[in-house]
């Protein structure tokens, strides 16, 4: 009798489990919410959450988000994805900021056959040879070409120096692509110095760079380090321009960098609240953001998070069912999906092609100075 | 390399090295007395910097007051850590206290994440700190002059405390033989608390100066400087206060000079520090100024 009771109890539990699972569509999110890349991760999460508030259901079911912090660490990123797939049983994964993290997480998702859509991971290797990895952003060969083109013709720089984080795939990749394009357009790279993530003293490297007298210094760094680097550039009395990549895009740049970031130019994805000719979707996003976070400027990472969530939902809708294989197929077929950062079409390598945006700090304000579509 | 560049590198190294030295003193003091590597020291360092920020932004204290308050509060936390995490383990095997230290370190780091958030925070510096003094082509930041001077003065002060005062006598007694010190009526626990207090106050001071030099706070900011300072302490001879200062300054200068002379190897900067540690341990296991074990304070 007792055994029967236990059995019945278990069956009820199992039934309850399945009905619960069928009630919601589970989407996993893994982002760096602590550590070196937390600035960007936090913004992307807010973008995702804002989108999920605006579109809380798909296929008549409620969307359930599972957010895991990957702590800006490659090992934690792989663990986070493992947990999302094995424990939370998600059907699709959004993330992450940071190419190194996306590569580590992507391996796990690939093996499990769960689709993953990257937000702002731009290194080509993130999606290369992977069936289940996608992204809504452009890739670094393109961004590097954009930065090099602007440095050469926009800033009129003939010589460039680089300060690269050797422990980071994004930084190393972007530096390589910048160098390739900059030499191709006729410029010369006169110094290539390195550092390790977590370093706070860059004076030795910068003193060396200053002695080479470059016209521009390109720092493919993350925001937290980039701000300190620029402060030290100023302290050491350097006169050259400083440029960076999309990882330098942050509303707090002026607050943290102060006078040291004046004139700084960075490439980014084609959205910024200071943009002049905004699409209606971008305009709506900006307004809604300001309502949701009155004290905080939106930025492109938030926009990418927002776009990614809606694109995944769009794929689930087109797939007609919330199953990893069907969603993967639908994601690969994404064509002309309109988002805040422009129109997204997933190409053969699972990447999105978008123009490279340029932002400059002018009079203590982030200013969108236009976008370019560089030739590779 | 031009002469001006060399001087610039040397000054950069001196500033970095003096910061290491200040942190290293705290490691060395606690080790000298308790034979304990206080891994929580790097978190105490981080807390010191955060408390100043807190004082400035939440209570609108003037700079000077905020710094003094932060140092006092941090010293109190150092004493509390000893009370809660180390004192109950005084008679346990040394490895237990070491593990407890690692635990405290993680606890404080995560507590800070909960209390202050994980995002790096900016530090506003007083204007007089921002403007470098120009000496020909060499640019000297006010901190570059201030930090080494302070490290040197604090070292002299500590040596005086250890060798000329009564609590210092107690410290030396405990470092020789803790049990006999009990029997001879040395207020052992009070002296140890004092040691933690002084060590933590120094960590706070260096945390604050670190934040002024590299104006960004984050809960994990203590780990790398802490590691380097630990190497500096071992390098100089763990247990020796002048050794910690010399070790810290040398480590800073060597690190910067390694990049200056081998720019291509800049990415392996940290490796230089660790190679140095291994070489020193192989050649002179007690470090540069480390005396025989029983003399350590």
Q: How confident is the model at residue A22 (pLDDT cuts 50, 70, 90)?
A: low
Question: For B281-295, what is the mean pLDDT?
Answer: 73
Range of lowest pLDDT (A161-175, B171-185, B266-280): B266-280
Contact of B256 with chain A, judged by CB distance below 8 Å, is answered with: yes
Mark yes or no for CB contact B120/A39 under 8 Å: yes
Structural domain harbouring B129: 14-222
Mark yes or no for CB contact A193/B266 under 8 Å: yes
Q: Domain count of chain B?
A: 1
CA–CA separation, A48 vs B167, rounded Å? 59
Distance from CA of A134 to the nearest CA of B (A): 28
Residue of A nearest to B114 (CA): A34
Instruction: Answer yes or no: is B120 within a domain.
Output: yes
Mark yes or no for CB contact A196/B141 under 8 Å: no
- Predicted confidence (pLDDT) at residue B199 exceeds the cutoff of 50: yes
Distance from CA of B238 to the nearest CA of A (A): 25
The alpha helices in chain A, defined as continuous H runs, are: 2-23, 38-54, 74-86, 99-112, 140-149, 169-184, 203-211, 223-235, 253-257, 280-292, 300-319, 324-332
Residues of chain A with CATH 3.40.50.2300: 2-138+282-345, 141-268+357-372
Please state the ipTM of this predicted complex.
0.82
The closest alpha carbon to B19, from B167, B224, B176, belongs to B224
- Tell me what the pLDDT averaged over chain A comes to: 91
Mark yes or no for CB contact B224/A34 under 8 Å: no
Contact of A224 with chain B, judged by CB distance below 8 Å, is answered with: yes
Q: How confident is the model at residue A7 (pLDDT cuts 50, 70, 90)?
A: low
Residue of B nearest to A212 (CA): B1
Residue A298: predicted pLDDT: 92
The closest alpha carbon to B250, from B227, B269, B229, B271, belongs to B229
Q: Between B166 and B284, where is the model more confident?
A: B166
- CA A102 from chain centre, in angstroms, equals 9
Residue B131: predicted pLDDT: 78
- CA A351 from chain centre, in angstroms, equals 13
Q: Which of B215, B260, B270 should we substitute to test contact with A (largest number of A Cβ atoms within 10 Å)?
A: B215
- Please state which of the four CATH numbers 2.40.128.110, 3.40.920.10, 3.10.20.440, 3.40.50.2300 is assigned to the domain occupying A141-268+357-372: 3.40.50.2300
Residue of B nearest to A223 (CA): B120
Tokens found for residue B106: 């993680």
Residue A19: predicted pLDDT: 46
CA–CA separation, B183 vs A92, rounded Å? 68
Residue A277: predicted pLDDT: 87
Instruction: Answer yes or no: is B263 within a domain.
Output: no
Contact of A228 with chain B, judged by CB distance below 8 Å, is answered with: yes
Whose tokens are 């002469």? That residue is B3
Count of A–B CB contacts within 8 Å? 95
Residue of A196, A203, A211 with shortest CB distance to B12:
A203
E-state strands within chain B? 121-122, 133-135, 138-140, 216-217
Instruction: Answer yes or no: is B187 within a domain.
Output: yes
Highest-scoring range by mean pLDDT, A19-33, A202-216, B263-277: A202-216
Range of lowest pLDDT (A290-294, B151-155, B203-207): B151-155
* CB atoms closer than 10 angstroms to residue B112: 21
The alpha helices in A113-168, defined as continuous H runs, are: 140-149
**Architecture of the domain whose range is A2-138+282-345:** 3-Layer(aba) Sandwich (3.40)
Question: For A226-245, what is the mean pLDDT?
Answer: 91
For strands A116-118 and A61-69, give the pairing: unpaired
Evaluate whether A29 touches A68 at the Cβ level (below 8 Å).
yes
Mark yes or no for CB contact A224/B141 under 8 Å: no
Residue A123: predicted pLDDT: 94
Residue-wise pLDDT for A361-375, tens only, equals 999 899 999 998 887
Residue-wise pLDDT for A146-205, tens only, equals 999 999 999 999 999 999 999 888 999 999 999 999 999 999 999 999 998 878 889 999
Q: How confident is the model at residue A3 (pLDDT cuts 50, 70, 90)?
A: low
Instruction: Answer yes or no: is B292 within a domain.
Output: no
Mark yes or no for CB contact B118/A198 under 8 Å: no
Residue of A nearest to B256 (CA): A204
Tokens found for residue A230: 């620029």
Residue-wise pLDDT for B99-139, tens only, equals 999 999 999 999 998 888 877 888 878 777 777 888 888 88
Contact of B83 with chain A, judged by CB distance below 8 Å, is answered with: no
User: Buried (b) or exposed (e) across A198-219, using 16+ Cβ within 10 A?
Assistant: bbbbbbbbbbbbbbbebbbbbb
Q: How confident is the model at residue A61 (pLDDT cuts 50, 70, 90)?
A: very high
Instruction: Answer yes or no: is B264 within a domain.
Output: no
Residue-wise pLDDT for A77-126, tens only, equals 999 999 999 999 999 999 899 999 999 999 999 999 999 999 999 999 99
Residue B295: predicted pLDDT: 47
Contact of A138 with chain B, judged by CB distance below 8 Å, is answered with: no
The closest alpha carbon to B199, from B84, B48, B88, B59, belongs to B48
Range of lowest pLDDT (A11-25, A247-261, B66-80, B231-245): A11-25
Instruction: Answer yes or no: is B271 within a domain.
Output: no
Residue B155: predicted pLDDT: 83
For B191-213, the DSSP string reads HHHHHHHHHHHHHHHHHHHHHHH
- Predicted confidence (pLDDT) at residue A8 exceeds the cutoff of 70: no
**Chain A residues whose beta carbon lies within 8 Å of the beta carbon of residue B113:** 34
Range of lowest pLDDT (B36-40, B82-86, B132-136): B132-136
Distance from CA of A204 to the nearest CA of B (A): 5
- Predicted confidence (pLDDT) at residue A238 exceeds the cutoff of 70: yes
Give how far Cα B219 sits from Cα of A250, B113, B118, B146, B207, Å. Answer: 20, 6, 7, 26, 12
Contact of B219 with chain A, judged by CB distance below 8 Å, is answered with: yes
Range of lowest pLDDT (A2-11, A130-139, A298-307, B99-108): A2-11
- Predicted confidence (pLDDT) at residue A13 exceeds the cutoff of 70: no
CA–CA separation, B216 vs B224, rounded Å? 14
Tell me the sheet residues that pair with A371.
A357
Spell out the residues 6+ positions from residue A132 whose beta carbon is closer than 8 angstroms to its own: A106, A109, A110, A113, A114, A115, A116, A324, A328
């Amino acid at each position: 009798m007792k055994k029967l009771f236990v059995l019945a109890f278990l069956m009820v539990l199992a039934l309850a489990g399945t009905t619960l699972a069928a009630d919601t569509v589970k989407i996993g999110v893994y982002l760096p919410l602590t550590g070196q890349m937390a600035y960007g991760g936090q913004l992307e999460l807010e973008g995702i959450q804002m989108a999920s508030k605006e579109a809380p259901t798909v296929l008549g079911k409620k969307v359930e988000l599972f957010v895991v912090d990957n702590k800006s660490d490659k090992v934690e990123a792989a663990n986070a994805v493992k947990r999302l797939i094995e424990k939370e049983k998600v059907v699709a994964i959004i993330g992450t900021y940071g190419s190194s993290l996306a590569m580590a997480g992507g391996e796990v998702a690939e093996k499990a056959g769960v689709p993953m859509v990257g937000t702002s991971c731009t290194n080509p290797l993130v999606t290369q040879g992977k069936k289940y990895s996608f992204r809504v952003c452009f890739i670094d060969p393109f961004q590097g070409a954009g930065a090099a083109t602007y440095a050469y013709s926009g800033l009129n720089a003939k010589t460039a120096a680089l300060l690269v984080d050797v422990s980071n795939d994004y930084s190393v990749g972007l530096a390589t692509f910048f160098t390739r394009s900059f030499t191709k357009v006729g410029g010369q790279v006169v110094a290539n110095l390195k550092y390790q993530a977590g370093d706070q003293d860059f004076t030795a490297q910068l003193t060396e760079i200053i002695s080479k007298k470059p016209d521009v210094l390109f720092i493919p760094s993350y925001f937290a380090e980039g701000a300190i680097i620029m402060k030290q550039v100023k302290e050491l009395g350097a006169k050259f321009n400083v440029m960076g990549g999309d990882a330098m895009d942050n509303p707090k740049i002026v607050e943290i960098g102060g006078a040291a970031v004046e004139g700084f130019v960075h490439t980014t994805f084609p959205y910024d609240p200071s943009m002049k000719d905004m699409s209606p979707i971008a305009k709506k996003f900006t307004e809604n953001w300001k309502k949701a976070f009155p004290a905080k400027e939106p930025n492109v990472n938030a926009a990418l998070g927002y776009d990614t969530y809606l694109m995944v939902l769009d794929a689930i809708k087109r797939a007609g069912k919330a199953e990893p294989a069907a969603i993967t197929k639908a994601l690969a077929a994404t064509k002309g999906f309109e988002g805040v950062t422009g129109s997204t079409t997933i190409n053969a390598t699972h990447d999105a092609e978008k123009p490279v945006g340029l932002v400059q700090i002018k009079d203590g304000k982030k200013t969108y100075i236009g976008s370019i579509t560089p030739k590779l | 390399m031009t002469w001006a560049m060399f001087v610039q590198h040397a000054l950069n190294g001196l500033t970095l090295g003096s910061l290491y030295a200040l942190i290293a003193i705290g490691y060395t003091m606690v080790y000298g007395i308790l034979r304990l590597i206080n891994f929580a020291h790097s978190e105490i360092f981080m807390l010191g910097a955060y408390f100043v920020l807190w004082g400035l932004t939440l209570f609108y204290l003037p700079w000077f007051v905020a710094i003094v308050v932060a140092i006092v509060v941090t010293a109190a936390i150092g004493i509390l850590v000893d009370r809660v995490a180390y004192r109950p383990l005084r008679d346990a095997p040394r490895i237990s206290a070491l593990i407890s230290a690692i635990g405290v370190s993680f606890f404080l780091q995560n507590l800070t994440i909960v209390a202050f958030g994980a995002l790096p925070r900016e530090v506003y510096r007083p204007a007089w700190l921002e403007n470098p003094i120009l000496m020909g082509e060499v640019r000297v930041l006010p901190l570059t002059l201030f930090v080494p001077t302070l490290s040197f003065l604090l070292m002299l002060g500590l040596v005086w405390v250890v060798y000329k005062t009564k609590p210092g006598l107690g410290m030396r007694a405990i470092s020789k033989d803790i049990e006999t010190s009990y029997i001879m009526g040395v207020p052992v626990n009070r002296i140890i608390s004092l040691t933690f207090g002084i060590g933590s106050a120094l960590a706070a001071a260096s945390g604050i100066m670190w934040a002024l030099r590299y104006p960004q706070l984050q809960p994990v900011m203590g780990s790398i400087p802490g590691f380097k300072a630990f190497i500096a302490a071992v390098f100089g001879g763990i247990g020796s206060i002048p050794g910690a200062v010399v070790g810290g300054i040398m480590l800073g200068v060597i690190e910067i000079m390694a990049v200056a002379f081998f720019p291509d190897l800049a990415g392996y900067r940290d490796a230089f520090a660790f190679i140095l540690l291994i070489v020193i341990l192989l050649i002179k296991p007690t470090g540069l100024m480390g005396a025989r074990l029983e003399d350590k304070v």
